[in-house]
């Protein structure tokens, strides 16, 4: 485990890039073999705005990465944060607890807040107005949201007291699990359900992308499924009934244009529709 932590403490930028590209490529091909929904769309054209926002996210995270490093180093040097206040534990458990807590703050909590605060919801909306959710949707975040998510992650590193090796493990796992849960793949229902007791599975997360409330305001998890079950935000919906998008922004063509998406957070807020839960 020490070797793993040492690797992630000094993970080369090339390796992080390969992780991103490799994940998208793997799930992209898997979508062709085990598609959940047979979308009638040009996959490359659909991917264009999503890949554009992937690039903006990479740039923002790269420019702000030094803050993560400085914060992580400060917590370790000053013995600050939850991990540093807990009793001594095996290194593997130390890393696991660190990733678990970072997922709570940087993943679940950030996502929950974005849905509860109107101004933040309008920024997060760009992610939800994809009418053909697939693995490229994972990184479809407006630049403003990339900054918001970074702030939550930075706060998580500060509160948790995570060293940079644990932070990099969390970010790498977050990337891959997000690509996995958004991927347009059809796992056997029992397998997907079993997975959803531990991690966020594709069917579990697709419910979150259903176009109307209350389903849109459920299943906020990123890596671990425990938080939705623990805080009462877990919901189920048969995958055959899921319709992607947001009812207040129904224009699929407009929602596939980069210039429209960049301006989307600045529209007037419109209350989404709520349907009765079956």
Is residue 2 scored above 90 in pLDDT? no
pLDDT at 272 over 80: no
Whether pLDDT at 254 is above 70: yes
- Burial annotation 24-58 (CB, 10 A radius, 16+ → b, else e): beebbeebeeeebbebeeeeeebbebbeebbebbe
- The pTM of this model reads 0.94
pLDDT band for position 268 (cuts 50, 70, 90) = confident
| Residue corresponding to tokens 């060293």 | 163
- CA distance linking residue 72 with residue 234, whole number of Å: 32
CB 157 within 8 A of CB 62: no
Rounded CA separation 188/181 (Å): 14
What's the rounded mean pLDDT across residues 36-44? 85
Partnered with residue 199 across adjacent β-strands are 224
CA distance 264 to 145: 12
Higher-confidence residue of 137 and 275: namely: 137
Q: Are 167 and 11 in contact (CB under 8 A)?
A: no
Q: How far, in Å, CA of 18 to CA of 54, rounded?
A: 14
pLDDT at position 31: 94
Q: What are the phi and psi torsion angles at 112 (to 5°)?
A: -60, -45
Mean pLDDT confidence for 26-32: 94
Which pLDDT score is estimated for 232? 97
């Amino acid at each position: 485990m020490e070797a793993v932590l040492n690797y992630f403490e000094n993970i080369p930028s090339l390796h992080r890039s390969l992780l991103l590209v490799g994940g998208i490529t793997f799930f992209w091909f898997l979508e062709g073999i085990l598609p959940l929904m047979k979308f009638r769309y040009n996959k490359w054209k659909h991917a264009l705005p999503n890949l554009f926002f992937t690039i903006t996210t990479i740039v923002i995270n790269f420019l702000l990465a030094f803050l993560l490093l400085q914060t992580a180093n400060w917590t370790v040097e000053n013995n600050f944060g939850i991990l540093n206040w807990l009793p001594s534990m095996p290194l593997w458990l130390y890393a696991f607890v660190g990733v678990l807590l970072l997922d709570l703050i940087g993943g679940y909590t950030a996502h929950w807040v974005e849905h509860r605060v109107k101004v933040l919801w309008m920024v997060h909306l760009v992610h939800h107005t994809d009418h053909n959710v697939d693995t490229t949707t994972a990184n479809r975040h407006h630049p403003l949201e990339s900054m918001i998510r970074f702030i939550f992650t930075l706060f998580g590193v500060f509160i948790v007291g995570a060293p940079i090796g644990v932070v990099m493990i969390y970010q790498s796992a977050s990337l891959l699990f997000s690509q996995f849960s958004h991927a347009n793949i059809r796992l056997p229902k029992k397998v997907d359900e079993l997975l959803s007791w531990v991690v966020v599975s594709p069917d579990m997360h697709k419910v979150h992308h259903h176009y109307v409330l209350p389903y849109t305001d459920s299943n906020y998890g990123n890596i671990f499924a425990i938080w939705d079950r623990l805080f009462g935000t877990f919901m189920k919906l048969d995958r055959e009934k899921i319709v992607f998008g947001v009812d207040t922004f129904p224009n699929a063509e407009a929602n596939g244009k980069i210039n429209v998406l960049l301006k989307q957070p600045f529209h007037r807020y419109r209350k989404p529709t709520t349907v009765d839960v079956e």
